[in-house]
Amino acid sequence: MLDSKPFQHRHIGPNEAERDAMLNVVGAASLDALIDEAIPSGIRLKTPLNLPEGQSESEFLRDLRRLAGRNHIFRTFIGLGYYDCISPSVIVRNVLENPGWYTPYTPYQAEVAQGRLEGLLNFQTMVRDLTAMEVANASLLDEATAAAEAMTMMYRLQSGRIAASRGAPRFFVSDSCFPQTLDVLSSRAEPVGIEL
């Protein structure tokens, strides 16, 4: 049965009658009394939050652009796989700046991750369609994670041969790999007994 109440009444919280009914059930005289019973005084603020006056969306965006304009972009020399990249404007406009990708709501995951998962699903579907393969994967976030996933996949696929050889499984890695890649490989190899 659909709720006949308008949207705001269903999503902005309880009204006064519902609040009073809740307080009656839990045996508290007021919301302040309920908070006094539920939240230890040692972790509560003694004064109200020092918040600025509210702003309209256009005022906020104006101030945000002004603040962002103070940033300076310098050449980075960090290296080790962390490099600048150029994102095509069509990607920026249709993915990064499209709120549809970072505001999808589900009851269990109301956050950016849900939009990211949807983007990955669409990418995997496109790769599958382009390659005519039965499956495609797009869930690896970086080189180190991808290397560790490849190592553990080979380990699982060769587990029969490894058991038959009665030797410790070994995985050979170039010493010219980035340190963070070697660290992730080590972390994933140790629990399953792979010798790097």
Identity of the highest mean pLDDT range in 60-69, 76-85, 142-151, 168-177: 60-69
pLDDT-based confidence at residue 27 (cuts at 50, 70, 90)? very high
Q: What is the pLDDT of residue 43?
A: 92
- Read off the tokens for 51: 């918040």
Question: By C-alpha distance, which of 112, 140, 137, 113 is closest to 123?
Answer: 137
For residue range 172-196, list pLDDT tens digits in order. 999 899 999 999 999 999 999 999 9
Q: What is the DSSP letter of 46?
A: S
23/17 Cα distance (integer angstroms): 10
Please indicate whether residue 107 or residue 161 has the higher confidence score (pLDDT): 161
110/37 Cα distance (integer angstroms): 30
**Are residues 179 and 147 in contact, defined by beta-carbon separation less than 8 angstroms?**
no
Question: What would the mean pLDDT of 42-65 be, rounded to a whole number?
Answer: 92
Please indicate whether residue 47 or residue 77 has the higher confidence score (pLDDT): 47
- Read off the tokens for 58: 């256009």
Q: What is the pLDDT of residue 73?
A: 84
Q: With 90 as the cut, is the pLDDT of residue 119 above it?
A: no
Distance of alpha carbon 43 from the chain centroid:
28
What SS3 state is found at 152?
Answer: helix
- Enter the pTM of the model: 0.48
Q: What is the pLDDT of residue 107?
A: 57
Question: What would the mean pLDDT of 129-153 be, rounded to a whole number?
Answer: 86
Q: What is the pLDDT of residue 181?
A: 94
Question: What would the mean pLDDT of 160-177 be, rounded to a whole number?
Answer: 88
